[in-house]
């Protein structure tokens, strides 16, 4: 978070980045190891909203899912352009203002600036949202683990429940295999070149159309399929996700929320920002 702070004290930059805004921070005294952050207040989370709909046996309206996910991908595009991997993307860490539909990414307690050749811990990220390379013990992963987690969030909002609800690391992998099928030897090598155990039952992938309800928009399913790929390099980037047809309805001019408010600013990219997001 401190790495983001110098870039992120400007309110307008914060709005474009879709990341929670630090207002102030204090360092610890000589005998303490604490960092105290004062952040902007945002009242809800995507998790609470999703739980509300689930309790009423409903799913979040698709246009709200579009709004939330687009802003999540904008936030990931921003932090990834700084070389920062969040490493704990989940609905609980997506703050939400229900009046304005503004979403902000929060909780950078697990975040790290990934450096080439520097190993990282593999036991990271909340279980339901852990990328398969982490389950396979990879220590040289990339920001694509956040992309996988975002795919899990999107699938969960569409389904009304987690797509891979494993009770342990092994069970998590089993849940993934039920949908994606058994990874090939080449895919496992791409996830973790040092992994040597290849004895898995051969299970065919489950068609994505059968994973979701019949009324789920095909472009939403198509986006999920581009995010939840075994091979990290095959997953699309956050800025590519922003350009996906699933979000086309957000680009249709003067859209308003059910309460009459205008949509939050979604396309206020700067030329410099677009250049950074491209790499």
Active site (catalytic) residues = 88
Give the CA angle between residues 23, 3, 237 to the nearest 5°: 105
For residue 37, give the DSSP letter: E
Judged on CB neighbours under 10 Å (0-12, 13-18, 19+), 183 is: buried
Cα atoms found within 13 Å of the Cα of residue 140, Cβ hemisphere only: 10
Q: How far apart are CA 18 and CA 14, in angstroms?
A: 6
Distances (CA, A) of 225 to 90, 193, 219: 18, 24, 10
Contact 228, 208 (CB under 8 A): no
- Reported as type and span, the H/E element at residue 94 is strand 94-97
* 159, 65 contact by CB (below 8 A): no
> Residue 185: is it exposed, middle or buried by C-beta count within 10 angstroms (0-12/13-18/19+)?
exposed
Closest to 61 in 3D by CA, of 19, 101, 105? 101
Cα distances (Å, whole numbers) of residue 86 to 76, 116, 166, 197, 262: 8, 16, 21, 29, 29
């Amino acid at each position: 978070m401190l790495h983001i702070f110098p870039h992120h004290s400007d309110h307008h930059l914060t709005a474009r980045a879709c990341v929670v805004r630090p207002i102030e921070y204090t360092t610890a005294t000589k005998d303490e190891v604490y960092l105290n952050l004062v952040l902007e207040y945002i009242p809800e989370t995507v998790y609470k909203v999703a739980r509300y709909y689930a309790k009423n046996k409903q799913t979040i309206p698709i246009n709200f899912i579009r709004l939330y996910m687009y802003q999540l991908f904008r936030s990931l595009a921003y932090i990834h352009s700084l070389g920062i991997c969040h490493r704990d993307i989940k609905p609980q860490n997506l703050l939400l203002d229900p009046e304005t539909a503004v979403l902000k990414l929060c909780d950078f307690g697990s975040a790290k600036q990934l450096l080439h050749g520097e190993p990282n811990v593999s036991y990271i990220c909340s279980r339901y949202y852990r990328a398969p390379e982490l389950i396979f013990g990879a220590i040289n992963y990339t920001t694509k683990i956040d992309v996988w987690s975002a795919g899990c969030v999107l699938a969960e909002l569409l389904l009304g429940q987690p797509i891979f609800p494993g009770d342990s690391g092994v069970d998590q992998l089993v849940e993934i295999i039920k949908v994606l099928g058994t990874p090939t030897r080449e895919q496992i090598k791409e996830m973790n070149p040092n992994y040597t155990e290849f004895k898995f039952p051969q299970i065919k992938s489950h068609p994505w159309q059968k994973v979701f309800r019949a009324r789920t928009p095909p472009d939403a399913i198509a986006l999920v399929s581009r995010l939840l790929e075994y091979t990290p390099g095959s997953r699309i980037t956050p800025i590519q996700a922003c350009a996906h047809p699933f979000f086309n309805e957000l680009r249709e001019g003067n859209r308003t929320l059910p309460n009459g408010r205008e949509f939050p600013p979604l396309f206020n990219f700067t030329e410099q920002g677009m250049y950074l997001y491209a790499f």
